[in-house]
Structure 1
Amino acid sequence: MPRVFYSESIRRFLSQSDEEILGILASNNSFELNDLQRNTWLEEIRILKSAISEFKDGCIIFEYTIPRMGKRIDVIIILRGIIFLLEFKVGSSSYDRSAINQVIDYALDLKNFHSESLKRLLVPILVATKGRDVLLNAGLLKDGIYKPLLCNSNNIKAAIDFIFSKEKEVNFEPLDWINASYAPTPTIIEAAQALYKGHNVAEISRNDASAINLARTSREISKIIEYSKVNRKKSICFITGVPGAGKTLVGLNIANERHNFDKNEHAVFLSGNKPLVNVLQEALARDESKRKGITKAEALAKAKAFIQIIHHFRDDAISTDEAPIEKVAIFDEAQRAWTKEQLEKFMTQKKGKPNFNMSEPEFLIRVMDRHTDWAVIICLIGGGQEINTGEAGLSEWFSSLKQHFPHWMVYLSNKISDSEFIRDSSLPDLLNGLQYKFVPELHLSVSMRSFRSEKVAAFVKAILDVDSINATELLRQIIDNYPIAITRDFNAAKTWVKEKAKGTERFGLIASSGGRRLRPHGIWVQSKINSPANWFLNDMDDVRSSYFLEEAATEFDIQGLELDWTIVCWDADFRFENGTFGYYSFTGVSWKRVNSEEKKIYIKNAYRVLLTRARQGMVIFIPYGSDDDLTRATKYYDETYNYLCSIGVKPI
């Protein structure tokens, strides 16, 4: 799909016939040109020819494509160094909030991800062709972006003149702007939708010098798959990375590229993260149903073949000894696969199959090993992401390979030796007796989630490791681009995220599942989110959405997903005391100290997940507590608050 459907100088645009312009638009449109679209374009052409007839210099663009959002900006006018973004609602008489947010989103997207827009002034304009006249008000929404102007078909020129009366910018070459790099960092939901629609990972990911090129990792995996196929080998790949580095995005890209690759090869994306799977399936189904005019049920059935709950795959494999149809299986968050004890307990209690003497890694490899020729397993591994009892961690995969599948070839990065991945194990010990090859491209070291700063994951690690000096220095480096604040006032935290978020930037409330004494503030973590899909996907008018700040997502709800802005609610389950962190569980009517090293890891990782969910910034809410309530004693909270302030997090 071309970046633009039409681009010309204003002088040339004014001299061309309406039908000639329409013909160019239609020739670049990959969809059938229906009467509604044809008439809409003709009306936009007619209105704009009248509106800009006095401007001879400049450039006009129709249908500028934004792959990350899966949308196109109706019209862009570049005049006197200023970029005007026009969203048309032909025939509309109202300036709907959703339409206003839409044109704001376009401006934010360009400002964040388009190299030539970063240093330009962007003016979003909503054109409701039959709308009333609205007073034009000057003012910036944020640096480099004007508050949206509301126009009808008759006063677009007045709006442009109004901006010229306020702003003087340096002219630039429009062609440089059109050809400039667009380097997006999509949310995982946006990425899944874009990949599913036919975009590739190179189109929807960054490719600059400071970020790992996800396409390189995808290419290396494709090479391994092709080598395994040609040479009839069985291979397992471990893709590692810091939180938000794009592991799931790589996995989805591979699944999309290899899904129904040919009649002898199928790929499937598997995850044990039920909220993530439900949200992604629902997002794909909603999007495809809307685009293709098929029923939601039809679209959902297709999405479920592409992305599956790992337990469904496992349960299906239990019922037969046949090899699965899939030759390529991508396991998301593979470090969270169950231990032998956990899986045996589940199989006994839920499936009526006692003495199931295998861990989940062993069973999943055994299922793929049923293929007589070749198979590839791709494990996506997050460092420090185990958050629940019974999660085996990475070492169980190597143990299973060593004991039962030494004929499988292992591909990994030497970065896997970091403690977040293998805990206290030794990498040489894990690999002893296995066939293996180190592939540097299988590690993603730069966080893509926090596109405003790539050092957020390192900052969070320093906080959790009580590395105060490093945390202070990292915060100094990121704070200008990635706001982090702290407060004892819950209402102040709510106000902060609402003021920071622009357009449809999503914000929400998140808290540890162990934060049982946040309940006096209306944060009840024991009450699960009714529908993660509604919480993550529904718009700001829907009370079920994250925007209402009424339901708190825990680490189990939000792992693998993300928001633009978060309120991280910090309770006494993970409290700073005497220069280190203490670990507690609320049992009955009081806090009990956690002594199990395994459970300590789960609590620490829960806060690692919570503190790395925001793409653009976060505010940390730590209650005052109350000495009238021994379960919320002020000392449980004060030291944590003081510790975070001491490394430079500013109170609001």
Structure 2
Amino acid sequence: MGRAYYSKKLKDFLTDDNGRILGELTNNHQFALEEQQRNAWIQQIEILKNELHGLDSGHIMFEYSIPRMGKRVDVILIYAGIVFVVEFKVHSKEYLRADIDQCLDYSLDLKNFQEGSHNVQLVPILVSTEALNFDNNFEKFRDEVFTPIRANKNNLGDIIKKISEQYKGEPIDADKWENSLYKPTPTIIEAAQALYQGHDVKEISRSDSGAINLVKTAEAINTIIEKSKQQKEKSICFVTGVPGAGKTLAGLNLANERHRFGDDEEHAVFLSGNGPLVAVLQEALARNNIENSTEKITKGDALQKAKSFIQNIHHFRDDAISVETAPIEKVVVFDEAQRAWNSDRTTSFMKIKKGIADFDMSEPEFLISVMDRHSDWAVIICLIGGGQEINTGEAGLPEWFSAIRNLYPHWNVYISNQITDIEYTGNQKLEKLFVGLKCFAVPDLHLSTSIRSFRSENVSNFVKSLLDCDKEKAKQLLLELKGKYPIVLTRNFEKAKQWLKDNARGNERYGITASAKAHRLRPYGIYVESDIDAPQWFLNTKDDVRSSYYLEYVATEFHIQGLELDWTCVGWDANFRYENNGWSYHQFTGAKWNQIRSEEKITYLKNTYRVLLTRARQGTVIFIPEGDIEDKTRKPEFYDGTYNYLKEIGIEEI
């Protein structure tokens, strides 16, 4: 079966028996067929035959797959050099905004991720069969996607003919278009849902030569697991990568592949200390499970199932403290392992919060000790982001190496030989880090290219050069981003919010982000002290005040690390300011700014802005206030240096 349940030349569809068409759709349907779906297909077939009978050529496809979204377009019609993306709402009397956005989302997915659609016109059409006629304006976005068209069962054909006459394009080879490469970059939420539903990582990840091949990384890790299993060894491998390179996707894929309920030999789990990420993914999987289940399932049951696949690492740790036996899992994936706590932070937490007075281990030491309880084999996969430590006591990669060297030298260590940046090594030489370890180099364990931003892979490199004050490199990289990934600047918060709304289409998600220490953005309506409900903020729709779309609640680095939006506004406060040709680091305490002198806290603050500036998939607006000469905590000079530096690099003001 191809990507569509039914794919024929239009003339063959028009003469094909309705029962035979329905039979082909039914046979290719992978789930239990509900009466509602069957009746919808019958209606669609009849409407299309009535409305398209006058067209002289073309190709039609029913139920065309959009793997990244885990959905199928009702109908694709290729006619007059145009791709019509048709979504039916049978019996509907209204053109609902959610349905319009859904149809546009399908068109944008095809435009962005399917090679055959890159250079053609796409027309999203919502067919609310019983709705009144709508006076459509035929308008296109800059990328040749039309603004959504509204049609009903009686005027669909006329609308298609009218658009075809006005916007006729070069002929499209339908077979070539249908089978052209599909190279998506899903959000981590979409990826988790797709993997959980049984999609292969090859279906939902890019495979072009310009992006990291996640399949190679998966193969490298699976080879290590199989070797450890056969030779009864204990191994730890470190998957490193730039922000957005697909580390979490690689980890989710591995946990999903080896997540075998009831198999004591091979149970795997995805663990993360990132509370918001875990909560968002668990909620997203539960909602998706309820939506797609053919049987009635409660929210509680759906959440429980999701929690057995994705767990909070601190819950895993607490369970392990209460017993001395080995965990059921033989393979564990630790996401954002660079954020594991050092000995001081862990010991203090255990004494104060857990009442364990004699605990004296770092988090890496303890977590390895738990897996070391297995008598035969075990594998730990640590996902490490360079320059992502953002909180006190987060130890980074060196702490893991120290734990292995001092306590677990019998463990095999697998790591790429490409981790040379200071963000990974913490100013230590590689030879010093590796001494005393049974270390093996595996190049495919390092992901060097960001795939978060499908519009450009240079975003993380640009952010790095900006933060490193490498002006010339930043200028050059910004020029390469131009036209692909907009980064703009404003001193007006209302303008920033409007820019987000103007650029986002369909259900593309946007929101406000800022440093958790950006306390003097409060006069502008950016309240970092107000906590957000992460699942609601990341998952809820435009009509929910708790969602990111409302631009009322602000996500800090702690909420958004490991997740992403399509479009972001970064609120930039005076805690991180550019002056005297370099960065100056400050913390607002009481009623004034105090300069930060601790090297550790300086690193955390710099990494905070690295996280904030790399969360958008499609574009970012940076809001830097003008300050207030009457307010000693918001003096204009606290902000002007940063604003002028970003302008000098070439970031345009809106």
Letter in 1 for 2:272: S
Aligned: 1:563 with 2:603:
no
Match of 2:622 in 1: 620
Number of the residue aligned with 2:235: 235
Q: Which amino acid aligns with 1:342?
A: R
SS in 2 for 1:181: coil
Q: Distance in 2 between matches of 1:326 and 1:319?
A: 16
1:572 Cα offset (Å): 0.3
C-alpha distance in 2, partners of 1:21/1:419?
61
Q: Counterpart in 2 of 1:244?
A: 244
Residue matched to 1:288? 289
2:20 counterpart residue number: 20
Query: How many residue pairs align between the two structures?
Result: 651
- State the Cα deviation string for residues 112-149 of structure 1 (Å, max 9, x = none): 00001000100000000000011121111342101111
Please identify, of 431-440 and 503-512, the stretch whose mean Cα deviation from structure 2 is larger.
431-440
Structure 1 position 574 matched with structure 2 position 573 = no
Query: Contact 1:564/1:617 (CA < 8 Å) preserved in 2?
Result: yes
Q: CA deviation at 1:2?
A: 4.5
Q: Is the aligned partner of 1:115 residue 2:120?
A: no
On the 8 A contact 1:512/1:606 being kept in 2, the answer is yes
Aligned counterpart, 1:423: 426
| Offset from partner CA, 1:588-614 (integer Å, 9 cap, x none) | 100000000000000000000000000
- For the 8 Å contact 1:336–1:393, the answer to whether it is kept is yes
C-alpha distance in 2, partners of 1:60/1:201? 28
Corresponding position of 2:278? 277
Q: Is the Cα contact below 8 Å between 2:487 and 2:651 reproduced in 1?
A: yes
AA at the equivalent of 1:470: K
Matching of residue 439 in structure 1 with residue 428 in structure 2? no
The answer to whether the Cα contact below 8 Å between 1:88 and 1:127 also exists between their aligned partners in 2 is yes
Q: Does 1:471 align with 2:474?
A: yes
Once the two structures are superposed, the pairs formed by residues 308-323 of structure 1 within 5 Å of their partners are 308-323=311-326
8 A contact 2:60–2:76 mirrored in 1: yes
Deviates more, 1:288-297 or 1:201-210: 288-297
SS in 2 for 1:392: coil
Secondary structure at 2:102 match in 1 = helix
2:183 matches 1:183: yes
Name the aligned partner's letter for residue 124 of structure 1: P
Give the SS at the match of 1:211.
coil
Percent of aligned pairs with the same residue? Answer: 57
Q: Which deviates the most, 288-297 or 503-512?
A: 288-297
Deviation (angstroms), 1:92: 0.3
2:4 is matched with 4
SS at structure 2 position matched to 1:630: coil
- After TM superposition, give the deviation of residue 505 of structure 1 in Å: 0.3
Which residue in the other structure is 1:105 paired with? Answer: 105
User: What residue is the counterpart of 1:609 in the other structure?
Assistant: 611
State the partner residue of 1:76: 76
Shift of 1:426: 1.3
Deviations 1:36-94 (A, max 9, x none): 11111010000000111111311000000111101000000000110000000000000
For 1:376, the aligned partner's letter is V
After the TM superposition, which parts of structure 1 deviate over 4 Å for at least 4 consecutive aligned residues? none
CA distance in 1 between partners of 2:93 and 2:26 (Å): 27
Distance in structure 2 (CA, Å) of the matches to 1:331 and 1:96: 42
Question: What secondary structure does 1:68 align onto?
Answer: helix
Which amino acid is 2:467 matched to? L
For the 8 Å contact 1:241–1:247, the answer to whether it is kept is yes
Q: TM-score, normalized by length of structure 2?
A: 0.99
- The residue number in structure 1 matching 2:370 is 367
Letter in 2 for 1:502: R
CA contact (8 A) 1:2 1:28 kept: no
Who is 1:192 aligned against? 192
Deviations 1:430-481 (A, max 9, x none): 1111111110100001101111000000000000000000000000001210
Matched, 1:376 2:370: no
What displacement does 1:427 show? 1.2
1:547 aligned residue = 549
Q: CA–CA distance in 2 between the matches of 1:302 and 1:141?
A: 42
Contact 2:269-2:331 at 8 Å conserved across structures: yes
Q: Kindly state the Cα deviation for residue 323 of structure 1 after the two structures are TM-superposed.
A: 0.2
CA offset at residue 362 of structure 1?
A: 0.4
Alpha-carbon offset, residue 3 of structure 1? 1.4
Task: Return the alpha-carbon distance in structure 2 between the equivalents of residues 630 and 296 of structure 1.
Answer: 51
- Deviation of 1:15 (Å): 1.1
Provide the C-alpha distance between the structure 1 equivalents of 2:133 and 2:529, rounded to a whole number of angstroms: 50
Contact kept, 8 Å, 1:2 with 1:65, in 2: the verdict is no
User: Who is 1:516 aligned against?
Assistant: 519
For the pair 1:63 / 2:63, whether they are aligned, the reply is yes
Partner of residue 451, structure 2: 448
Cα deviation for residue 165 of structure 1 reads: 2.8
Kindly provide the amino acid, as one letter, of the partner of residue 379 in structure 1: C
Q: CA deviation at 1:627?
A: 1.2
- 3-state DSSP of counterpart to 1:308: strand
- Any idea what SS the aligned residue of 1:203 has? helix
Residue 504 (structure 2) pairs with residue 506 (structure 1): no
Would the aligned equivalents of 1:577 and 1:639 in 2 still touch at CA under 8 Å?
A: yes
Task: State the TM-score, normalizing by the size of structure 1.
Answer: 0.99
2:310 corresponds to which residue? 307
Deviation at 1:168, TM superposition (A): 2.2
2:5–2:29: 8 Å Cα contact kept in structure 1?
A: yes
Unmatched 5+ residue regions in structure 1?
none
Question: Partner of 2:410 in structure 1?
Answer: 407
Write the letter of the residue equivalent to 1:54.
Answer: G
